Amino acid sequence: MAVAPLPVAVTANALVVATGDKYKIKIRRERNSSLSPLQLCHLQLDSSASSRFMVNKMNKMKRKSRGENIYESDRLQQKTQQTFLLAYPCHYSHRSVGAILTKFEKSDLKIIEMRCTDVTRNFAQKHVYNIGWDPEAYEDNVPYGNWVNYIASNPVVAMIVEGKGAMDKVYELISEKQLPFWCDEEATVYTSSTPAQAEIDIGTWFRSIDLEKEMRNSKKVVSVLPDNVHGPVHDVERTFQNIYEDVKKLPPKFKDWFSMEEMCVLLINPLAFQRCCAGQVLDAIQANCSSIRGIKLVRKADYPSNLWPTHSAPSDYGIAVVVCELKPSLTIMHENPDSKYINYIEGVFKIGSNYIHQSEPGKEVLEHATKFFKSGFSVWAYPNGLDLGGYIFEASLVGLVE
Which amino acid is it at 347?
Answer: G
d(CA 268, CA 111) in angstroms, rounded, equals 14
pLDDT, tens digit, 9 for 90 and up, residues 284-305: 999 999 999 999 999 999 999 9
Residue 33 has pLDDT above 50, yes or no: no
Determine the pLDDT at residue 380.
87
d(CA 194, CA 47) in angstroms, rounded, equals 25
385: pLDDT confidence band, cut at 50, 70 and 90?
Answer: confident
pLDDT, tens digit, 9 for 90 and up, residues 212-231: 677 777 888 899 999 889 88
Mean pLDDT check: name the lowest of 13-22, 40-49, 136-145, 323-332.
40-49
Residue 178 has pLDDT above 80, yes or no: no
Determine the pLDDT at residue 310.
92
Decide if 74-205 and 209-395 have a common fold: yes
Sign of CA dihedral 180, 285, 359, 251: positive
Residue 382 has pLDDT above 80, yes or no: yes
343: pLDDT confidence band, cut at 50, 70 and 90?
Answer: very high
Longest alpha-carbon distance in the chain: 79
pLDDT, tens digit, 9 for 90 and up, residues 69-79: 555 555 555 68
Residue 15 has pLDDT above 50, yes or no: no
Determine the pLDDT at residue 67.
55
First to last CA, the chain: 42
User: Please, what is the Cα angle at 100 between 53 and 310, to 5 degrees?
Assistant: 125
Query: Of 32-36, 150-154, 184-188, 394-398, which has the strongest mean pLDDT?
Result: 150-154
Tell me phi and psi for residue 171, to 5 degrees.
-60, -40
Judge: domain 209-395, CATH 3.30.70.
Answer: yes
319 beta partners: 268, 297
Omega prior to 180 cis, within 30 of 0: yes
Residue 402 has pLDDT above 90, yes or no: no
Residue 88 has pLDDT above 80, yes or no: yes
Q: In what order do the strands lie in the sheet with 340-343?
A: 330-333, 348-352, 340-343
Closest to 203 in 3D by CA, of 219, 192, 214: 192
pLDDT, tens digit, 9 for 90 and up, residues 260-271: 889 999 999 999
Query: Whole-model pTM?
Result: 0.78
Determine the pLDDT at residue 58.
52
Residue 8 has pLDDT above 60, yes or no: no
Query: Of 255-259, 309-313, 359-363, which has the strongest mean pLDDT?
Result: 309-313
d(CA 273, CA 155) in angstroms, rounded, equals 24
Q: How many CB atoms lie within 10 A of CB 275?
A: 15
Counting residues of the chain whose pLDDT is more than 70, the rounded percentage is 77
Residue 257, exposed/middle/buried by CB under 10 A (0-12, 13-18, 19+)? middle
Determine the pLDDT at residue 337.
95
Paired sense of beta strands 182-183 and 189-191, if any: unpaired
* pLDDT average, residue stretch 39-43: 29
Residue pair 277/340 in contact (Cβ under 8 Å)? The answer is: yes
Closest to 72 in 3D by CA, of 194, 237, 190: 194
d(CA 309, CA 330) in angstroms, rounded, equals 20
Residue 10 has pLDDT above 50, yes or no: no
Residue 34 has pLDDT above 60, yes or no: no
Residue 4 has pLDDT above 50, yes or no: no
* pLDDT average, residue stretch 380-393: 85
Closest to 133 in 3D by CA, of 201, 195, 70, 67: 201
Q: What is the CATH number of domain 74-205?
A: 3.30.70.141
23 beta partners: 18
d(CA 235, CA 220) in angstroms, rounded, equals 9
d(CA 30, CA 118) in angstroms, rounded, equals 52
d(CA 295, CA 317) in angstroms, rounded, equals 13
The residue extents of the domains of the chain are 7-65, 74-205, 209-395
Determine the pLDDT at residue 298.
96
CA dihedral of 298, 303, 308, 311, whole degrees rounded to 10: 100
